[in-house]
Amino acid sequence: NAGVTQTPKFQVLKTGQSMTLQCAQDMNHNSMYWYRQDPGMGLRLIYYSASEGTTDKGEVPNGYNVSRLNKREFSLRLESAAPSQTSVYFCASNWDRQLQETQYFGPGTRLLVL
Amino acid sequence: SQQGEEDPQALSIQEGENATMNCSYKTSINNLQWYRQNSGRGLVHLILIRSNEREKHSGRLRVTLDTSKKSSSLLITASRAADTASYFCAYSNYQLIWGAGTKLIIKP
């Protein structure tokens, strides 16, 4: 099993450009999450999907959109990138958001917005 | 902010010594989790302790939870160079709240 995979691993964008970060899990998890990690801070939740067909805002959703394409895949889109979105983005998944048990993380996408 | 607080922010010890990291939180919780992050990598789950548990062990790891003080500690015994990483606590009530992490350096 690959666990949680993310693409791309690294991306450089210019201000105003758009891009989509891809995430897939092969553990048959119901819930998936997108986080950003900035230096000196813990993870901040951007969006989550408690189950296939549902998405909800997290702590810092502004400037982002998500799509739960199917049970395996959860994508994060930046419509018009800004330098403040320079960060490392992590996708995670677990069985059930309500239980808030162990989350499994992908390797991350490093995004630099110039 | 509900963000958990961890201390110390950074810790540097000699290989073979014990390392202790602390996490404090502000609300009632269902469970508290500890994760490790090696440089440039994703987070890896280490241990989960439920609100009705006081202590839990996993190999060289020992986690304690004091719900009256709203705090938890992670002890790594007999540290190794491979333990060099950042360690994060995350506590759950209706969502998972993350601490800012402790950067642990093990000197050979």
Which residue in B has a C-alpha nearest to residue A110's C-alpha?
B40
Closest to A21 (Cα-Cα) out of A90, A112, A95: A90
Look at residue B36 in the predicted model and tell me its pLDDT. Answer: 97
Would the pLDDT of A85 be above 80? Answer: yes
- Burial class of residue B40 (count of CB atoms within 10 Å of its CB; 0-12, 13-18, 19+): exposed
B2 band by pLDDT with thresholds 50, 70 and 90 = low
- Whether B43 sits inside 8 A of A105 (CB atoms) is yes
- Whether B98 sits inside 8 A of A43 (CB atoms) is yes
A81 touches chain B (CB under 8 A): no
Look at residue A100 in the predicted model and tell me its pLDDT. Answer: 78
Q: Give the H/E segment covering residue A75.
A: strand A74-78
Q: Which two tokens stand for residue A67?
A: 């799509």
B22 Rama sector, left if φ>0, alpha if ψ -120 to 50, beta otherwise: beta
Q: Max alpha carbon distance in chain A (Å)?
A: 39
Q: How far is CA B66 from the centre of its chain?
A: 14
Q: Answer whether B66's CB lies under 8 Å from B49's CB.
A: no
Closest to B36 (Cα-Cα) out of B68, B58, B17, B15: B58
- Whether A103 sits inside 8 A of B96 (CB atoms) is yes
Query: What is the overall mean pLDDT for chain A?
Result: 94
The contacts found for A55-62 with CB under 8 angstroms, 24 or more apart, are A58/A33, A58/A34, A58/B95, A60/A36
A42 touches chain B (CB under 8 A): yes
* B8 prior amide bond cis, ω within 30: yes
Q: Report the gap between the CA of B105 and the closest CA in chain A (Å).
A: 16
Look at residue B3 in the predicted model and tell me its pLDDT. Answer: 67
Q: How far is CA B104 from the centre of its chain?
A: 11
Chain A hits for B100, CB-CB cut-off 8 Å, are 40-42
Closest to A2 (Cα-Cα) out of A22, A30, A25, A32: A25
Chain B hits for A108, CB-CB cut-off 8 Å, are 40-42
Average pLDDT over residues B84-106: 91
Closest partner residue to B100 among A42, A100, A107, by Cβ?
Answer: A42
Look at residue B92 in the predicted model and tell me its pLDDT. Answer: 86
Chain A hits for B25, CB-CB cut-off 8 Å, are none
Q: Report the gap between the CA of B74 and the closest CA in chain A (Å).
A: 17
Would the pLDDT of B1 be above 90? Answer: no
B16 Rama sector, left if φ>0, alpha if ψ -120 to 50, beta otherwise: left
Chain A hits for B95, CB-CB cut-off 8 Å, are 45, 58, 100
Which range is least confidently modeled, A16-30, A97-111, B44-58, B66-80?
A: A97-111
Which residue in B has a C-alpha nearest to residue A41's C-alpha?
B100
A2 touches chain B (CB under 8 A): no
pLDDT in tens, A21-77: 999 999 999 999 999 999 877 899 999 999 999 999 999 999 999 999 999 999 999
